[in-house]
């Protein structure tokens, strides 16, 4: 089951793969409908889409915005045949009751652990990018972004090239991207990132690359 949450503290969005213990969520209801629920809970706002059968729907209809609730989710077959979240039970928490208190504390621990892991990952990625910069500094194929003002029409000029000049420019872009990907893969900067190093390669292109392509290829 996949449930998305937006963390208020980190202002980030991520998906959490629910474990058996993680199927239970406690939080204050900020939005509720027959197919979705938004809970203010430890770590941020949890946006949960789901399907539900009549017993769970009857319980859901008793829930009001502002209440703290305990919701239990499983999985069910969705309309298109895929697996979706299923709301199994939902009820209002009673003041100082053990079950909600226990699950709220568990969610707080899991959120703190996730935020700590995210912070460590961010630091590791920064170190990785520093190592990449050192590698790329010695690679003639890579074009570093300069502090000089970018020529706004650099990409337009490179795109306007034709024939052999265009093929030459495309090769400059390819060599630049290849250098970036090789450095990223060498230092494993794309490990555990969706899309790997290709996720970052798109942002590696800059106007300086286009300027080099035009300067090198236009006759």
Which of 60-64, 115-119, 179-183, 203-207 shows the lowest mean pLDDT across its residues? 115-119
Nearest Cα residue to 158 out of 218, 219, 206: 218
pLDDT value, residue 155? 87
pLDDT value, residue 199? 80
Taking residues 52-63, report their average pLDDT.
94
Q: 65 vs 12, which has greater pLDDT?
A: 65
Question: In the predicted model, is pLDDT for residue 9 greater than 50?
Answer: no
Nearest Cα residue to 213 out of 177, 152, 165, 180: 165
Residue range of the domain that includes 206: 124-217
Q: Is 27 exposed, middle or buried, given 0-12, 13-18 or 19+ CB atoms closer than 10 A?
A: buried
Which of 64-73, 119-128, 210-219 shows the lowest mean pLDDT across its residues? 119-128
How big is the chain by its Cα radius of gyration, in Å? 25
> 67 — phi, psi (to 5°)?
-75, 145
* Domain total of the chain: 2
- Residue 92 in any domain: the answer is yes
Tokens in use for 78?
Answer: 């969705």
Q: How far is CA 192 from CA 8, 124, 184, in A?
A: 23, 12, 13
For 34-39, the CB contacts below 8 A with 24+ separation are 34/60, 37/71, 37/87, 37/90, 39/69, 39/71
Q: 85 vs 148, which has greater pLDDT?
A: 85
If asked whether residues 22 and 87 sit together in one domain, one would say yes
If asked whether residues 152 and 61 sit together in one domain, one would say no
CATH number of the domain residue 78 falls in:
2.40.50.140
Answer with the one of 111, 142, 171 that is the final residue of a domain. Answer: 111
């Amino acid at each position: 089951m996949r449930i998305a949450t937006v963390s208020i503290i980190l202002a980030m969005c991520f998906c959490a793969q629910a474990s058996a213990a993680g199927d239970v969520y406690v939080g204050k209801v900020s939005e509720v409908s027959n197919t979705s629920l938004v809970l203010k809970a430890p770590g941020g706002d949890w946006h949960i889409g789901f399907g539900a059968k009549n017993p769970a729907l009857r319980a859901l209809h008793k829930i009001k915005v502002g209440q703290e609730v305990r919701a239990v989710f499983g999985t069910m077959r969705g309309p298109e045949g895929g697996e979706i979240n299923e709301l199994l039970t939902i009820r209002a928490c009673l003041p100082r009751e053990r079950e909600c208190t226990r699950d709220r504390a568990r969610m707080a621990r899991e959120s703190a652990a996730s935020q700590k892991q995210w912070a460590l990952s961010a630091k590791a990625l920064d170190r990785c990018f520093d190592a990449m910069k050192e590698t790329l500094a010695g690679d003639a194929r890579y074009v570093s972004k300069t502090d000089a003002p970018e020529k706004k029409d650099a990409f337009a000029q490179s795109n306007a090239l034709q024939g052999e000049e265009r093929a030459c420019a495309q090769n400059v872009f390819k060599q630049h991207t290849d250098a970036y990907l090789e450095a990223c893969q060498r230092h494993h900067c794309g490990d555990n990132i969706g899309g790997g190093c290709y996720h970052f390669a798109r942002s590696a292109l800059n106007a300086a690359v286009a300027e080099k392509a035009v300067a090198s290829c236009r006759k």
